[in-house]
Amino acid sequence: MSNLTLKQLRYFEALSRHGHFGRAAEACAISQPALSVQIRELEASLGVTLFERGARQVRLTGFGEDFALRAREILRAVDELGDLARAAREGLSGRLRIGVIPTIAPYLLPRIVGAIAHAYPDLDVHVRESVTPRLVDELRAGRLDAAIVALPISEPDLTEVALFSEALVLVRTAEEAGLPPPPPDRLRDMRLLLLEEGHCFRDQALSFCSMRPALPRDGLDGSSLSTLVQMVGAGLGVTLIPEMAVPVETRSADVSVTRFAAPEPTRTVGMVWRGSSPLQGQLSQLAAIVQSAAQDRPADLAKPARSD
């Protein structure tokens, strides 16, 4: 055990996460043979096999799964020592790893990246785009410092800060422009196009329509809001998108956009980070900068519609 090193723990964590020597080596920026040597030396030092080697992937052994939990705790604690030093300095500097969900990233990032760079010129921002459950896992594992997501997350170990709320709007074919929006219960009877499973925006749309996620639907799922809008333009159905996506997603699609009558559906966008992070003060300041930049948004393209 005396030969166990942090480098080996990081290589072990990467291999346990990727389940593949090649991908783990790429993530660690080393060669695959070098990674294999370090893993073998770690197993030799422990006197226990950590991985089951297969032709296409590797899996953790029973002991390996227990070891992985402790290793991640150690690596997270080590990373937080670095964060503690950063927190002792004025402002933010060095690398900041921030996650963003796909229904926010393309529309908000262009506005906030410049504002962050202006406020923290010594900050090196790394962005990770993924769905909420993966971002939460990476926050807990210490691979992200913060994430911009739709709230609430409702996880006791994470701090949530609301940034702003926005409306969800209805996208229909261009021929339906000017028609009043249907009531939510009518959407259940229409061909409602939604994002694939795993996107929180899908669940928000289903909730507005009072549809349970587990129920089978007669519709098509898309991998992005852009795909959904283009499908609407092709006459395949209707969809909901967040207000911030309207200027980008509707400029090249033959569709109409309508806001719902009150009470219209909304979502709250916020930042989350580990409650144990030594950077809490700096991340709160960063959240204020993101909030200010996000409020500098284009005027709404769709006005509230009245239903008769």
Per-residue pLDDT of the chain (308 residues; tens, 9 = 90+): 557 888 898 899 889 888 899 888 988 889 999 999 999 989 988 888 999 988 778 899 989 889 988 888 888 888 777 776 666 565 677 888 999 999 999 999 998 999 998 988 888 899 999 999 999 999 988 889 999 999 999 899 999 999 999 999 999 999 998 888 888 878 777 888 988 877 888 888 888 776 655 444 455 688 899 999 999 999 998 999 999 999 999 998 899 999 988 888 899 999 999 998 888 888 999 999 999 998 875 544 333 333 32
**Measuring CA to CA, how many Å separate 101 from each of 200, 280, 293?**
9, 21, 18
Q: For residues 241 and 202, what is the distance between their CA atoms, to the nearest angstrom?
A: 10
pTM over 0.85: no
Q: Which domains does the chain have, with CATH numbers?
A: 6-84 (1.10.10.10), 92-164+267-294 (3.40.190.10), 165-265 (3.40.190.10)
- DSSP 3-state of 181: coil
Instruction: Tell me whether the omega of the peptide bond preceding residue 152 falls within 30 degrees of 0, making it cis.
Output: yes
